[in-house]
Amino acid sequence: MAMSMEPFNRLVRLVARAFYDDITMKGENQPKNGRSDNRGMAVVVLDALTRRQWVREEDLAKSLKLHSKQLRRTLRFFEEEKLVTRDHRKETAKGAKIFSAAVAAATADGKKNPREGEEKVKLHTHSYCCLDYAQIYDVVRYRIHKMKKKLKDELDSRNTIQEYICPACKRRYSALDVLQLISPTGEHFVCERCNNELIAESDKLASQEMGDGDENARRRHREYLKEMLQKIEIQLKPLIQQINRVKDLPVPEFGSLQAWEARANAAGLLNGDPGGNDPNRANQGQGYGGTPMPYLGETKVEVALSGAEVKGEEDNGADIGSPMKQLPPWMIQEGMNLTEEQRRGRGEVKSDTKIVSSSTSTYDIDEKKPNDVKEEDKSIQDEYIKAYYAAMVKRQEELKMHQKTQNELLGGDVSNVQETHPGRQVGMKAKREDDDVEWQEAAIPAVANGAPKVNDLNITASESENEDDDGVDWEEG
């Protein structure tokens, strides 16, 4: 498909630079030069559209770094010029993600994940746009034809409205006035005032000339028109050549938005590798939907998938969908018998939290460690927000359930943590081997104890209590 589009894309780019390189969108406002002079934006937009198929307008605005209002105005202008087709439809956020998945599939990303998260019932109107190549070809030809015709007509004085002059009083009349000026005999027109016969005189779009010096003005005007015609020939030559080249080629057709989406999704299904894919890619595809915090609403699914990925890596290529879903940390109630899988995923998730690094002895899980590190590095950006949220919830629960002493311990641990992670920033990769090792170790003894808690903090706290033996009464929540 991309092959046959190249000459058409070239045509679109030529058209943009020929005709639309100096349009401003501020028709009504006062033109302010300098800062707000963004002529040529239309060319950028058209060029961007040649590299995409159906695209959501918000996404285009984001990738072009334009204000969406300006972009919308430009696209509306192009829609009126018949270069672009737009489609507006109300969608849930889920529908929007299906589209994103279709885009990802169409642009040859291997991974596609239509999300089946919770239904978001609110309907937003999303606008999509796409270049309409068939129409572009016709529109451009028509435009050039009209340009040339207008000049030729004027040269031949075809569309001019005749003027009539009274020889005596030099009064000028337009042909529109002649109805009242018909002579009684009906043979000619007579002047209102002096009743003399009027003489015809052709006029050229009267604004060009004033009364005297008609001959010169008219001649100059004709020369100007001829010059314009010649300039058109010269300056539009590459465009006309491209049109001729494109004339016989089949036009790339994307169809309506629904059809294209269905096709792209189907293609993606065939091409994409269902399991063992890059979780980063997966999460990118999921996060592409544009909602600010995708994880909040659909943490369950996310965890399952990333856990599946992790498990896939560990099990060397397991298929998607582990038999048991991994529970997110805030879902785990006390007293639940967590299975190995449920907790293992938790352990992975936990490793990214920056809550506590307990003082317990390290437990070396060599075989898991490199995998985990690799996973975390890849999925840091994704896990971070999720884990942070989980940690926040956890912390709230802790503070609720335990007494002040425990809070102090917790606070101490927290401050400890914050000291030990000075260089850690949002979005930056950081190796945290210490953390995950401790978490692994913390999780497992908890199971051994047979009393799984919501928070690993509880576990570590109780362990440290055993070691420190402050003699404080713990209130087990």
For residue 185, the minimal CB distance to other proteins (Å) is 9
For residue 420, state whether it binds other proteins (rule: CB under 8 A): no
For residue 259, state whether it binds other proteins (rule: CB under 8 A): no
Closer CB to other proteins, residue 190 or residue 301? Answer: 190
Closer CB to other proteins, residue 200 or residue 266? Answer: 200
Binding letters toward other proteins, positions 166-205, x by CB under 8 A: ---------xxxxx------xxxx--------x-x-x---
Closer CB to other proteins, residue 153 or residue 223? Answer: 153
For residue 260, state whether it binds other proteins (rule: CB under 8 A): no
**Of residues 131-160, those binding other proteins (CB under 8 A):** 157-160
For residue 207, the minimal CB distance to other proteins (Å) is 14
Closer CB to other proteins, residue 147 or residue 262? Answer: 147
Closer CB to other proteins, residue 179 or residue 210? Answer: 179
Closer CB to other proteins, residue 194 or residue 266? Answer: 194
For residue 206, state whether it binds other proteins (rule: CB under 8 A): no
For residue 183, the minimal CB distance to other proteins (Å) is 9
For residue 27, the minimal CB distance to other proteins (Å) is 23
Total of chain residues touching other proteins, rule CB under 8 A: 19
For residue 215, state whether it binds other proteins (rule: CB under 8 A): no
For residue 1, state whether it binds other proteins (rule: CB under 8 A): no
For residue 210, state whether it binds other proteins (rule: CB under 8 A): no
For residue 428, state whether it binds other proteins (rule: CB under 8 A): no
Closer CB to other proteins, residue 203 or residue 261? Answer: 203
- Encode the chain in three state secondary structure: CHHHHHHHHHHHHHHHHHHCCCCCCCCCCCCCCCCCCCCCHHHHHHHHHHCCCCEEHHHHHHHHCCCHHHHHHHHHHHHHCCCEEEEEEEECHHHHHHHHHHHHHHCCCCCCCCCCCCCCCCCEEEEEEEECHHHHHHHHHHHHHHHHHHHHHHHCCCCCCCEEECCCCCCEEEHHHHHHHECCCCCCEECCCCCCECEEECCCCHHHCCCCCHHHHHHHHHHHHHHHHHHHHHHCHHHHHHHHHHCCCCCCCCCCHHHHHHHHHHHHHHHCCCCCCCHHHHHHHHHCCCCCCHHHHHHHHHHHHHHHHHHHHHCCCCCCCCCCCCCCHHHCCCCCCCCHHHHHHHHHHHCCCCCCCCCCCCCCCCCHHHHHHHHHHHHHHHHHHHHHHHHHHHHHHHHHHCCHHHHHHHHHHHHHHHHHCCCCCCCCCCCCHHHHHHHHHHHHHHHHHCCCCCCHHHHHHHHHHHHHCCCCCCCCC
Which residues of the chain form contacts with other proteins (CB under 8 A)?
A: 157-162, 164, 175-179, 186-189, 198, 200, 202
